[in-house]
Each structure stands twice: as C-alpha cells, then as structure tokens.
Amino acid sequence: IGTTEVTLFLLEGAEWQRYDATFRQRCYSEEEVRGGLEAAGFTDVRAVAAEELGMTGDIGKGRTFFLGRASTG
C-alpha cells in the first residue's frame, strides 16, 4: 500500500486556507479490476491511460482508469 500526503493552500476570500489529505492506494492488475467490474455486472469495460483523460505530470504517471457500462436492471 502506498501513501501520499498532500497539503493544499486555497485562497478563500481574502484568506488562505490550508487543507491536508492523506491518500492510501493499492495497485491491482488490469485483470483483477476488469474481472471485478465484470463480476459486478459492468459491460463494455475498457482501460484508459491517465494521459488520454488529460492528466499530466507525475500525478497521472502510470495510472489507468476503467470505463464501463453499469447494468440498469
């Protein structure tokens, strides 16, 4: 499990606000993700690289997103 700590400073009105967040992530193989989505009833599942979705820089490096259709029944 990987951990990333992020600190953001956002200007809200005339004051800066600090926000801290910790993200814990685990990597799964494409087969694991695809299998889980299909077992949950998703169809037309496809993998899309982060860069194809407009994520640039290090935050998108090596990331894959999955798109699929949820069953309506």
pTM of the model: 0.64
pLDDT at residue 58 above 70? yes
Q: Which two tokens stand for residue 67?
A: 């798109």
The neighbouring-strand residues paired with 19 are 8
Give the Cβ contact number of residue 37 at 10 Å: 16
Half-sphere exposure of 12 (CA within 13 A, CB side): 7
At 2-52, the pLDDT tens digits run 898 999 999 999 999 999 999 998 989 999 999 999 999 999 999 999 999
